[in-house]
Amino acid sequence: MSVRERKQEVRERVWDLLARTGSVVGDPHGRIPNFDGAAAAAERMAATPQWQAARVIKCNPDKAQAPVRAQALRDGKQLYMAVPALTEAKPFFHVNPILDSHTSEEAATSAVVAAHAPLVDLEAMGHIDLVVSGCTAVNHAGARLGKGAGYADIEMGLLVEAGLVDDATVLAATVHDVQVLSIDDFPEEPHDFRLDLIVTPSQVIECQRAQRPGGIDWDVLPAEKVAAIPALAERWPRAGSGS
């Protein structure tokens, strides 16, 4: 079984477990699970020193992390959220400006952000102190799996290459306890990054820092995916090479 096949096997196992135990809102399959207790996990994350020290946060747009986004806005953090599938030339939303016309809870929803938040490019963003990533499964060492689309890796690569994510950036996730697996040989590829901090409704797991994110791994990106993401297309090493 290849690494990618093993990754999908783990995802399917966790999605099935969440559904079977009633630990999720809606059908978790094929997406970042909207797990039961997401608000409690966000509150627990907000009590960590890593969160309290952070001034600028980038968070994924999934429903499970809406409480994290609302917490960031209530706490006065600068909040950025990626455009789904990174389809815009300016691939991130700056959420804070819409607080003039929306509550923190409203501004934390991806629909309101997409309709009202201004788009910004990488050059307009400052250093990111804490990144919250959506996950399907994690282990205690900080290895993670998303939903399999690969956009989190691309977002991270863009931020690293722009100098906005570095060794000082805390990489975090909120998940349900059943999404934390006791698997030492977690399926990973060279471009995968690990988490520093995992927060569930019941616990905080601080991981040994390892396998930091790198820049864009152009070798694993098909040309059609590069072409569909403007921020990648304009940075593609082949662009302007005449090849």
Q: What is the pLDDT of residues 144-203, one digit of tens each?
A: 999 988 888 899 999 999 999 999 999 999 999 999 999 888 999 888 899 999 999 999
Which residues partner with 199 through β-bridges? Answer: 174, 204
Look at residue 178 and tell me if it is in a domain: yes
Any domain includes 131: yes
Say how far apart CA 185 and CA 214 lie, in whole Å: 21
Asked if the structure places residue 180 within a domain, the reply is: yes
Question: Bridge-partner residues for 79, per DSSP?
Answer: 57
Contacts 24+ apart (CB under 8 A), 144-151: 144/173, 144/192, 144/193, 144/194, 144/195, 145/7, 145/10, 145/11, 145/186, 145/187, 146/32, 147/11, 147/30, 147/31, 147/32, 148/7, 148/8, 148/11, 149/85, 150/225, 151/82, 151/85, 151/86
**Could you tell me if residue 156 is inside a domain?**
yes
Q: For the ranges 39-43, 93-97, 131-135, 220-224, which has the lowest average pLDDT? A: 220-224
Provide the whole-model pTM: 0.93
By CB neighbour count within 10 A (0-12 exposed, 13-18 middle, 19+ buried), where does 208 fall? Answer: exposed
In a domain? residue 80: yes
Beta bridge partners of 131: 58, 171
Q: Supply the CATH number for residue 61's domain.
A: 3.40.50.10420
Residues whose CB is less than 8 angstroms from the CB of residue 191 and which lie 6 or more positions away in sequence, other chains included? 153, 157, 214, 217, 220
User: Within a domain: residue 238?
Assistant: no
240 within some domain:
no
Q: Is residue 242 part of a domain?
A: no
CA distance 155 to 168: 17
Q: Are 42 and 130 in contact (CB under 8 A)?
A: no
pLDDT mean across residues, the chain? 93
Instruction: Summarize pLDDT for 72-98 with one digit per residue, the tens.
Output: 999 999 999 999 889 999 999 999 999
- The number of distinct structural domains making up the chain is 1
User: Structural domain of residue 152, as residue ranges?
Assistant: 3-233
- What is the SS3 assignment for 41-72? HHHHHHCCHHHHHCCEEEECCCHHHHHHHHHH
Q: pLDDT tens digits for 192-219?
A: 899 999 999 999 999 987 677 778 888 8
pLDDT value, residue 221: 86
Which residues fall within 8 angstroms of residue 155, CB to CB, at 6 or more apart?
A: 58, 82, 86, 91
pLDDT of residue 238: 58
Q: Which residues contact 125 (CB under 8 A, 6 or more apart)?
A: 56, 80, 92, 94, 162, 164
Residues 71 and 45 sit within 8 Å (Cβ to Cβ): yes
Please report the pLDDT score of residue 98 as a whole number.
Answer: 98
